[in-house]
Chains A and B, each alone.
Chain A
C-alpha cells in the first residue's frame, strides 16, 4: 500500500516544485484577481413616471427622488435634511400616477416634481421602495427653504472621504518561529464580538498566514491574532499582552496589512511542543507535560 501512496506524494511534490520554479504555470485567465462588486442601486426596474404634473408658465418640471423625513406645515422634508415647499394643490399619488393609500410621512420614499419657476413641489409620488432619480440633488438643492443663511462649517474641511465601497483587505502575519506547524491562526476583531475564531487565516509558508476579506471603506476596527482561544492570543516581544491593533479601511481597491507576532500567550516556556510525536513509553522529556493534565 505504501509504495503507491508514496508515488502519489512524490508526484504531487514534483508538481509543486515545478510550480515553485516556474516551470509550470496555471492559465491566468482562470485566476483573475477578485475585484470588489460595485455598489448597486437598490432598485432594478424603474417604475413608470407620471406625466401629470404641470409646471407654472415660467418653469419646467424637475423630478427628484428620495426618502421622506417628515411632512408638516406645508413643507416636505427629505433625508438630505432639506425642507421644500409643497404647492397647496399638489397632487399626491403613487409612482405610476394613480391614487395611493400611502401617506407622506417618515420612511416613505417619494419622487417630488419641482416647478423650477417657483421651486415648489407640484406632484409627490409615494412608494414603499426607492424610486429612480431624474435630477441630481444639486439641481433641486436651490429650492430648499431655510430661515438662516447657509454658513460654512470648518469641520467639514476637505479630508479623506469614505464612500462605503467594498475594499479587499489582505492581512498577512508572520508568526513566531516556534509556532507548531499544524496550528491555525485566526483574526479576532471587535466587530466580530472578539470571537477568538472569527476569521480563520490560511498558512502560506512556514512562518506566514494570510486572509483576504471585504470591508466597507471607512470601517475602523480593532483586531488581534489568536490561535483559536484567548489563552493563545498574541503577545508582544516583551512577553506582555499588547493593545489591540487598529485598522481603518480607506478608499481603494485593495489594502494590505502586514503584521508580526512575536509570542503567543500559551507558548511553552522552554521546550518546543512535541505533541504526540514521540511514543509515550519513551517520552524523552517525561516531566515537560505533567501527567495529570
Chain B
C-alpha cells in the first residue's frame, strides 16, 4: 500500500487572504511615532474615546427627573454560572438598543467648538438653535453635553415658540425627558418649565433640577473641531458643516464631518483587513448609515487610503469597504449580519482580493466567503459554518509562455481551485452535574472539506478530494473551586480552576483523531492589586490509522532542522501521537487604574520537540521557555499604551533571545 500523501499547501502571492477585522494589531517601535501622530490626529474623536472621565462633577449630578433603572443582578464569578431559564434564552428578544426617536435640531453660531474628550459641543456668538419640529432659541452661549443629552443656551436668550416670543436669561432642554427649562426676564425674572415642549402652557415657578443651567468649564481642554453649523440627532450623531478639524497642530478644513455616537455597536463593525495604524474620518451619515474614509498604514502597503460604508439597524448590519483604494493589490470586503428571527441569525464575510491598476481589469482575483447560520434549539443550538475559496474569479486565459495559464505575466497565474468546507454543529448548553461544582457541555458535528489540498490526499491509491468528518466532543469544567478559605475577610482564598476537553473526529479517509486537553490552575488574590496564577495544561493529540500507522508516519523518514540541517530524531520517532505540557506562572499587579503590570513565565515540554525557524513567527511548536512582561498605561482617559517584551532564552534563529518589542495603542 502506498504511503499517504501529506501535501503542502500551495501559497501564492495573490491568494494570501488578509484577516478581516484584525483590530488587535501591534505597532513596532519604528512605527510608533507615526502611530502616535495619527492617534493625535484622529484618536481623540469620541468614537475612539476611552471609558473614564465622562462628565464634569457638577454635570454628573442628577440630570433627570426620572428614576434610573436598577442594575441587573449579576452572578459571582467565583460561583458557577447562573442557569438562565431555557425559555428565556431561546426567545431572547432582538437587541433593542436604539433609543426612542428624538427631534433633531440644528445649531449655528459664530463659533462652534467640539471638545471630543469631554463630549461637549459649545457655541459662542449669535447662537441659534432650530428644532425640526418648529421653534427656535437664540442666545449668546451654547453648551451641549452629548452624554447627558441636554443643552443650555444663556445670555440674551430669545425663545420663539408657539407663535410667541419671550426674552430670557437662559434656556435648557433635557432631551431624554422632554423637559425644557426657561428663565424668562420680564420686569422681574421667573422660572418656567415646559413639559413635552408644550410652550403654550408653561409650568410657572416649578422647581428645577439644581444644575439645569450649569456651563461646563473647558478652560483646560482643546477643541478637536471648529464649525459654524452642526445638526444634532440626540443620542445618535453630530453632523458638522464645513468643519476645521485639528490634525496635529493645525486645523484643516473639511467639507463635512459626521460623528456617530449612538449606542448601536453595529456601527463599530469593521470589514477591513488589519493594519498597524488606522485613522478613520467619518464623513457622512445618519441614523442608519455611515460613510468613512480611512488613512492607514501597514508594513506591506505603507501609507494608503481606504473607504468603508455602514448600513445598520438594531438587528442587522451591512458593511462594505475597499482597502487599499490607491494600491495595486486591493481588498474588497463585505460583512453582513441579520437577526432574522429572535432564534435565528445569519452572518457572512466576503472578501475579494484583486491585483488591478486603479480599477481596471484585474490580473488576478481571488475570493473568500464565510457563512455562519445559528438557530436556537431547546437547551442547545445548531450552527452552520462554511468557508469557501475561489482561487480565481477570472475566465480561463489563453495559454501563454510554456503553456502556462496567467494574466499579464506568469506571476499572476490562473488557478481554478475552489476549496470549501462545511461544518454543522450541535452545541448543548452548559449543564451542572447534579449539585456538584462541575459543568458539562457536549457537542456533535458533521461536515466535509472539499478540494482542500492540491494535489489531493491519496490513500490506498484513492484520491480523497472530499473528506467527510464526524465529531463528538465534551467539556467538563470546574469554574472556580475554593481550595483554601481565607478567614481574614480579605478575599485571599485560593481557587482551583480545571477544565477537561475530549474530542474524537472520524474522517472518511480511514483514520480518526483524538484531542484531549486538561487544564488546571491555582489562583489567589493577595491584595486587590496583586493576583498570582499557576496554570498547568496537558494537550494530547493522536492520529489513529490502525494497521497503517507506520505507513502514514513512516519511521524511515528523516527530518532535518530547518536552520542547522541536522537530523531531528524526535520527529522521526513521531507516530502521530503528540503531547504538549505547558506550565504558566503569572503575576498581575495593578497599583492604580492607570497602570497594570503583567509578568508571566511559560515552560513547555512537548513531543515532538519544537523546531526553531529563522524568525520566531515561523517557529514550529511552542518555544520551550518564554518570559513576558506586559506593561499597560492609561495615558489619557481615552487611550492606553501597552508595552510588551518577551524572552525565548536562546531558542530560534534571528530572534533567539527576544522577539519583536511590541507597543500597542488601545483606544
Contact = CB atoms under 8 A, between A and B. Distances in A.
A210 B76 CA distance: 13
B559 A272 contact: no
Given A69-B170, A284-B541, A277 B95 contact: no
Interface in A152-201: 152-153, 155-156, 159-165, 168, 172-174, 177-178, 181, 184, 186-200
A41 B593 CA distance: 22
Given A72-B185, A181-B537, A279 B503 contact: no
Contact of B50 (A162, A192, A194, A292): A192
Interface stretch (B249-257, B393-401, B402-410, B492-500): B492-500
Nearest to A130: B217
Contacts of A285: 505, 513, 515, 541, 543
Contact of B339 (A25, A189, A210, A240): A240
B183 interface: yes
Contact of A240 (B62, B169, B217, B376): B376
A244 B603 contact: no
A173 B61 CA distance: 30
B649 A153 contact: no
Contacts of A1: 649-650
A191 B55 CA distance: 11
Interface in B613-649: 619-622, 624-625, 632, 638, 640, 642, 649
A75 B210 contact: no
Contacts of B60: 162-164, 216-219
A9 B535 contact: no
A205 B515 contact: no
Interface stretch (A48-56, A92-100, A114-122, A257-265): A257-265
Contact of A224 (B265, B590, B666): B265
Given A202-B596, A269-B385, A161 B97 contact: no
Contact of A168 (B217, B492, B539, B593): B593
A130 B154 CA distance: 18
A284 B497 contact: no
B181 interface: yes
Contacts of B2: none
B215 interface: yes
A193 B49 contact: yes
B68 A193 contact: no
Nearest to A250: B71
Contacts of A161: 61-62
A164 B52 CA distance: 12
A253 to B, nearest CB: 12
Contacts of B427: 239, 263
B480 A70 contact: no
Instruction: Describe A's contact surface by its main secondary structure.
Output: loop
Contact of A290 (B53, B71, B421): B421
B68 A220 contact: yes
Contacts of A164: 55-61
B337 interface: yes
B387 A290 contact: yes
Contacts of A81: 170, 181, 183, 191, 208, 212-213
A129, A147, A174, A237: which has the most chain B beta carbons within 10 Å?
Answer: A237
A247 B95 contact: no
Interface string A212-251: 1111111111101000111100001111111111111010
A107 interface: yes
A194 B57 contact: no
B98 to A, nearest CB: 11
B307 interface: no
A58 interface: no
Contacts of A42: 217
A247 B541 contact: no
B465 to A, nearest CB: 12
B620 A272 contact: no
A216 B141 contact: no
A5 B649 contact: yes
A45 interface: no
Interface residues on B, range: 35 or more
Interface string B78-105: 0001101000011011111100000000
B106 interface: no
Interface in B145-159: 147, 154-157
A132 interface: no
Contact of B95 (A34, A241, A260): A241
Contact of A147 (B69, B188, B217): B188
Contacts of A147: 186-190, 204-205
B542 interface: yes
B214 interface: yes
A287 B469 contact: yes
Interface residues on A, range: 35 or more
Contact of B524 (A20, A146, A184, A203): A20
B379 to A, nearest CB: 9
Contacts of B52: 213-215
Contacts of A259: 74-75, 77
B292 interface: no
A129 B218 CA distance: 11
B23 A292 contact: no
A91 B569 CA distance: 97
Nearest to B22: A229
A230 B78 CA distance: 27
Given A1-B650, A279-B571, A198 B51 contact: yes
Interface string B190-217: 1101000000000111111110111101
A244 B95 contact: yes
B54 interface: yes
Interface in B453-493: 453, 457, 467, 469, 471, 473, 475, 477, 479-480, 484, 486, 492
Contacts of B588: 202-204
Nearest to A36: B593
Given A241-B339, A244-B265, A277 B621 contact: yes
Interface string B322-352: 0000000000000001010001110101000
A13 interface: yes
A2 interface: yes
Contacts of B206: 151-153
A80 interface: yes
Contacts of B157: 70
Contact of B622 (A160, A219, A277, A284): A277
A57 B417 CA distance: 101
A148 interface: yes
A16 B526 CA distance: 11
Given A162-B61, A277-B580, A205 B480 contact: yes
B452 to A, nearest CB: 5
Interface string B9-29: 110000101001111100000
Nearest to A262: B430
B622 A191 contact: no
B195 to A, nearest CB: 9
A197 B667 CA distance: 6
Interface stretch (B107-115, B129-137, B223-231, B266-274): B266-274
Interface stretch (B40-48, B238-246, B294-302, B354-362): B40-48
B51 A213 contact: yes
Of all A-B residue pairs in the complex, the 7 with the closest CB atoms, nearest first, are: A193-B47, A155-B65, A291-B9, A164-B60, A83-B189, A148-B205, A194-B268
19 contacts: A33-B528, A69-B170, A130-B217, A150-B191, A164-B55, A178-B501, A189-B51, A193-B49, A200-B632, A219-B54, A222-B97, A229-B22, A236-B92, A240-B381, A241-B95, A243-B93, A243-B94, A250-B71, A269-B385
Given A243-B94, A293-B389, 17 more contacts: A19-B524, A26-B527, A83-B169, A107-B154, A155-B179, A162-B63, A163-B57, A164-B58, A195-B268, A198-B667, A204-B525, A204-B531, A207-B480, A240-B339, A241-B339, A277-B621, A293-B368
